Structure 1
């Protein structure tokens, strides 16, 4: 089973939300290039809440999440995000059932 979390971010204003999106996009490039254990990492906009972003993150396991947290692109994101945010809330999830991306070597 994977290791997942949801993070809800509220930016200070719409301009800060756009800057936050740029920061997140830069981190995503590193995630795509260097983190095979990060299975899903998506930044969502919330309709009718222009300052809110919701990340959904799914990792192969806890070790993949721990490795993610140690990457330079993630450390940069974590260090810089505060200047754009009013608040954030992290919710860790236990997988009960569902469909998720197959990893290399797994049948779909």
Structure 2
């Protein structure tokens, strides 16, 4: 990963909007996400993985995911906890919308890396 002044120069992101079937499905989906996050917290290339509930939309969950680069995203997708979530989530959902994004510029927490001299 290339850095400049402690900040990552490139990133790969997703914005995912999940609409659950009903209130019970929303609760079960949230529990699945909570279990999955236990593994995601240990992924070094996953920089941000945040779940939001939009105001006045109790059945919707919006995920913002930021990875160090595309390779880090691929590594995330290959994890057992991610595969489990992808396999189980459909039973709770009415729809899914995914938007893949490449970082151009912005502000985010610095990451600590070591670079070769």
- TM-score bucket of the superposed structures, by smaller chain: over 0.9
1:32-90 CA-to-partner distances (Å, cap 9, x unmatched) read 12x11000001111110000000000000000000000000000000000000000000
What are the equivalent positions in structure 2 for 1:29-108 lying under 5 Å apart? 29-33=38-42, 35-105=43-113
* TM superposition outliers: structure 1 runs of 4+ over 3 Å: none
Query: If each structure's helix is expressed as a fraction of its own residues, which one has the higher value?
Result: 1
Provide the C-alpha distance between the structure 1 equivalents of 2:30 and 2:53, rounded to a whole number of angstroms. Answer: 10
Please report the TM-score for the alignment, with normalisation by the length of structure 2.
0.86
CA-based RMSD: 1.0
Q: How many residue pairs get matched?
A: 105
The runs of 5 or more residues in structure 1 that have no matched partner are none
Structure 2: gaps spanning 5 or more residues: 1-9
TM-score between the two structures when normalised by the length of structure 1: 0.93
